[in-house]
Amino acid sequence: MESVYIHIPFCSHICSYCDFCKILHLEKFTDDYLDSLHQEILNTYDGERIKTLYIGGGTPSCLNKKERTKLIRILSIFKLDPDVEYTFECNPDDIDDDLLDDLVTLGVNRISIGVESFDKDNLKLLERNTSFEDLEEKISKIRNRGIDNINLDLMYALPNEKLSTVKKDLKLLLALKPTHISTYSLIVEDHTKIKNKGLTNVDEDLDRKMYDSIIKILDKAGFKHYEVSNFALPGYESKHNLNYWNNGEYYGFGLGASGFKDGFRYTNTRNLDEYIDGKTRVEENLLTYQDQMDNEIMLGFRKTEGINIDDFYEKYGNNIQDVYPKVKELMASKDLVYKNGYLYIPLEKIYVMNEILTKIL
């Protein structure tokens, strides 16, 4: 156990596309929530030295000064490795000197900013407000605090979006000189404002063109495409997320959070009243050996380097091709490639990764 995820579900505004576990930020709920979060950590955390700590949401940056001070006290419970990767998610509107001072106090050394887009039509649809000039100034303040590891999120394939808009957004993102970029093709989810407006996903061919353009532009800019949706300058890959994709165990604390501990995968309630009352987990399953190998396949092939077959054998005592006979057939059809000890989905096929995984499993 080397990783911890903390979920802060509160947002100052509920965006039109969001299907995450979130609640409008009201102080009367936040204090009780943080008390319950504190208790969950005390009840569950076994004192391991933590190498990655990720504060996500929701919008953790929307907490006010008093709430952040309480969160700082709660998080001091964790024993952190000297080289810990400590990530905090921020909404651009929330970034100010006071917040940044508190993040430095926490020990945060990586900030993830939900930019999504700079295009005025996209921002209106998403119900967000991001200015390039404002964000440029705020990123300068972040770097002046000594935090150089900055991820920026890009959302693409929005209803009625053009390929040229995605390219322009990427150009602006790169001008901010991030170390990491996460890209998300918008999925119109049930129970969101976008879905209720009757909007639908873009044409699949256009989605593919946008994805291919993103890969090409970021490769030219020196970013390594190390996971389906994630790109990093060399040495800045997300250690926290790599632990997920390497099928490692991790704690998940907070409303709606998921975790993987001692062979059990668990999910917390998404009901705030239940969580505050201490009824934390709603699901907990002990994985079979086959479950664990299946997860290794589903998660490991998200990485562009794929799965090390010697590591798979050492971990499970089985050859990957014996457990999954379809692997040989997929290698013959070039849907899978074996090279230098790794089995992986070639870049030109990674867009249809789910179809390949379905065949393997």
**Residue 17 banded pLDDT, cuts 50, 70, 90:** low
Q: Is the pTM of this model over 0.85?
A: yes
Residue 321: its pLDDT value, please?
95
**Residue 338 banded pLDDT, cuts 50, 70, 90:** very high
**Residue 230 banded pLDDT, cuts 50, 70, 90:** very high
Q: What is the pLDDT of residues 71-81, one digit of tens each?
A: 999 999 999 99
Q: What is the DSSP string of 4-61?
A: EEEEE-EESS--TT--SS-EE--HHHHHHHHHHHHHHHHHH---PEEEEEEEEES-GG
- Residues 237 and 187 sit within 8 Å (Cβ to Cβ): no
**Residue 38 banded pLDDT, cuts 50, 70, 90:** very high
Across residues 248-256, what is the average pLDDT?
97
Q: Name the CA dihedral angle for 10, 16, 17, 23, rounded to a multiple of 10 degrees.
A: 20
Q: What is the DSSP string of 343-359?
A: EE--GGGGGGHHHHHHH
Looking at residue 285, the DSSP 8-state letter turns out to be E
Residue 14: its pLDDT value, please?
61
Q: What is the pLDDT of residues 176-195, one digit of tens each?
A: 999 999 999 987 666 666 76
* Residue 323 burial (C-beta neighbours within 10 Å; 0-12, 13-18, 19+): middle
Residue 187: its pLDDT value, please?
75
CATH 3.80.30.20 positions along the chain are 3-244
**Residue 129 banded pLDDT, cuts 50, 70, 90:** confident
Query: In terms of Cα–Cα distance, which of 328, 337, 338 is closest to 359?
Result: 328
From the options 3.30.830.10, 3.40.190.10, 3.40.50.2300, 3.80.30.20, give the CATH code of 3-244.
3.80.30.20
- Residues 126 and 106 sit within 8 Å (Cβ to Cβ): no
**Residue 1 banded pLDDT, cuts 50, 70, 90:** confident
Tell whether the model's pLDDT for residue 296 goes beyond 60: yes
Residue 22: its pLDDT value, please?
65
Tell whether the model's pLDDT for residue 19 goes beyond 70: no
